[in-house]
Amino acid sequence: MTDLHDAEIEKVYLAQAWEGAVGAVKAAMALNGGASVAILAFIGSLLQEKARSVNVEHITLVMMIFCVGLVAAALTQLAAYFTVYCYHQTMGSRRLELPDEDRWALIGTAIHISGIVLLVASYGCFVGGAITFANFARLTLGQ
């Protein structure tokens, strides 16, 4: 009875962890993707309003930072999937008393940590892109 109860608790834990990961990844993608779209709109309005020249190097750098953030967020989603897969394999190995339990747990933990690093990197790209864009806007608008 205890094993069944523990298995149910683990399933609930994995489901909650998955939902949290999905929410965090969606937020990171929305931040970086939304920022990219906003920058494109800003550049478009600059070019139409006053026929200003835009420093292509700066805008390319800003867009690349946000794109790297999007890729990091997407890889975070992949890491979350594989983390859940590895932890699920751990649960199956434990029930069958197979020696693979430790290996799956170690792999799952490594992927989990990688996913956290990727997510932090994605948020870092947003902050870095925002700071870079603020400098670009200040230089472009001459303020």
CA-CA-CA-CA torsion sign (11, 12, 17, 20): positive
pLDDT for residue 1 is more than 80 = no
What's the structural domain count of the chain?
1
* 43 vs 61: which has the higher pLDDT: 61
Q: What is the pTM of this model?
A: 0.76
Angle between helices 101-141 and 56-96 (to 10 degrees): 170
Which amino acid is residue 138, in one-letter code?
R
Tell me which residue range forms the domain holding 119.
Answer: 1-141
